[in-house]
Each structure stands twice: as structure tokens, then as C-alpha cells.
Amino acid sequence: MFKYFKIMLVLSFILGIASSSILAQEHLHKHHEAVTGATPQLAQDEVVITGKVICLGCHLKKERKARAQCSIYGHINALVIEKIINAQGKSIDELKGKVYQFLHNDKSDKLVKDHNYAGKTIIVVGKIYPEANIIEVNFFKEKEKEVKKR
């Protein structure tokens, strides 16, 4: 009798771990359309972010009358966060609306420099550094536009 109880206890523990992992993935999928077969598996410290790309200089010039000179010095893009979900499927609401710059590396070079991304909504998988308002990009793609039904 005690032997069966131990077996049931171990099985319950294993099922509990498996179901919590499945629930976290389902939560992530349900609340973020960014997770697809093409999206890499998240590492423990990574997040999935949906946001709008802005050129910092152009944005500040338009919104705050900053003396940006993008036509001379070039455009530098950043991201206004719309949604952010961690690897456990939890939304990080306090970062919504915040502007984060991209850590410039081989995976983010196009996002940093290419002005054609300005105004577009993208999905990023990467690591955030809140103390520096920086996103380290592991993967990104342009968000597909939703087709409205009539």
C-alpha cells in the first residue's frame, strides 16, 4: 500500500511540473500572437516584445521640438513597447509604453540603422536591460497585419 502511495506521489509531482510548463506555454501563446514555429524557443531570461519602431531623432523632433539632425547624422531607431511577455508567460505591464533602444550587434543592425522600419510594428525575442532601457535582440520579425472582416 505504501509503495503505491509513493508511486502515485511521484507521478503527481511529475504531472504537476509538466502541466505547469504546458500552461505557461499556452498562456504565452494565448496572450501573444508572436509565438510561432519560426520564433526561437525562449531562454529563461528572454522575453517576447511587440512594439512600434521609431526613429529617436525624428520622433523627438516632431513631438518635443528637439534639434535632431537625422538627415546629417543618420537615423537611430528604438522601440516603443506595446506588449512584453517573459519566458514564464507573464506580462510585464510596467514596461508598456516605455522606449527601449536596441543593443547594436549583428542581429539588430538593420533595426538600429534602417529608417524603413520606422512606424512598423515588430516582434522581438531577446533580453531586456531595464536599468539601461536596452533590448538585446536574438530574433525579430515584422508583425503581420491583421485583416479586418467586414
Rounded average pLDDT over 14-18:
49
For residue 76, pLDDT beyond 50: yes
Lowest mean pLDDT among 30-34, 39-43, 131-135, 139-143: 30-34
CB atoms within 10 A of CB 105: 11
Q: What percent of the chain has pLDDT over 70?
A: 70
What pLDDT sits at residue 71?
93
Lowest mean pLDDT among 101-105, 109-113, 144-148: 144-148
Rounded average pLDDT over 89-117:
96
- The pLDDT-based confidence of 145 (bands split at 50, 70, 90) is confident
Domains observed in the chain: 32-142 (2.40.50)
Contact 126, 49 (CB under 8 A): yes
Rounded average pLDDT over 55-64:
95
Rounded average pLDDT over 51-65:
96
Q: pLDDT tens digit string along 115-132?
A: 999 999 999 999 999 999
Give CA–CA dist 114/67, Å, rounded.
Answer: 21
Give CA–CA dist 14/72, Å, rounded.
Answer: 60
Lowest mean pLDDT among 2-11, 17-26, 49-58: 17-26
Q: Which amino acid is at 113?
A: K
Mean pLDDT of the chain: 82
Sign for the pseudo-dihedral over CA of 137, 118, 104, 92:
negative
Q: Indicate the Cα dihedral angle 11, 15, 18, 22, nearest 10°.
A: 170
Is pLDDT larger for residue 29 or for residue 129? Answer: 129
